[in-house]
Amino acid sequence: MLNATYEPIHVCSVRRATVLLLKAKAEMLETGDRALHSERLELERPVVIRLVTYVRVPRDVHRRKITRKAVLARDAWTCQYCGSERGGLTVDHVIPRSRGGESVWENIVASCAPCNRRKGNRLPREIQMHPKTTPRPPGPNVFIRVAAPKPPPIWERYLAPAAAAA
């Protein structure tokens, strides 16, 4: 779902998108290959919709809740130490909590289980394991990567400008 300004703001169900379209609160920008059918109506399946009126979205990234899925999505579902994309990723505190590290966006990265075990409670400089990218709070559209780790290709043209702005 895009805001009136074409900014991605939410991933919703096909049912919710259809209701918004029928109530004329949104317009359809992209359709799927199958149609939706009811007793009296046939409607193209919405894939991307845009709200007709602008909705203000709060952007306070410092208060954005840190969740495992959000960290993995921010780090593109990739281990920040070895670069692997294997399943079963965990989150790791770059500076371990036992060594005074905090649970903040700037200290948490995605890590595969072998790298997480190898690093243990040591500092990156002690074991020469530094994250490939500097951890920072996620962009405003991390929710899309949480809801859809591999978004449909048709979404990319709407996500690319938002990623560049983040």
Give the whole-angstrom CA distance, residue 36 versus residue 24. 17
Any domain includes 48: yes
> What pTM was computed for the model?
0.69
Q: Does residue 38 sit in the same domain as residue 96?
A: no
Any domain includes 166: no
Give the whole-angstrom CA distance, residue 17 versus residue 21. 6
Give how many domains the chain has, as a whole number: 2
pLDDT digits (tens, 9 = 90+) for 85-109: 988 899 999 999 999 999 999 999 9
pLDDT digits (tens, 9 = 90+) for 34-61: 999 989 989 999 999 999 999 987 766 5
Residue 162, classified by CB atoms within 10 Å of its CB into exposed (0-12), middle (13-18) or buried (19+), is middle
The single-letter code of the amino acid at 31 is: T
Structural domain for 45, as ranges: 1-57
pLDDT at 166: 47
Residue 139 banded pLDDT, cuts 50, 70, 90: confident
CATH at 94: 1.10.30.50
Q: Does residue 70 sit in the same domain as residue 42?
A: no
Any domain includes 4: yes
70: which DSSP letter?
Answer: H
Residue 63 banded pLDDT, cuts 50, 70, 90: low
Q: Does residue 52 sit in the same domain as residue 65?
A: no
Q: Does residue 38 sit in the same domain as residue 65?
A: no
pLDDT at 161: 59
Any domain includes 137: no
Q: Does residue 74 sit in the same domain as residue 50?
A: no
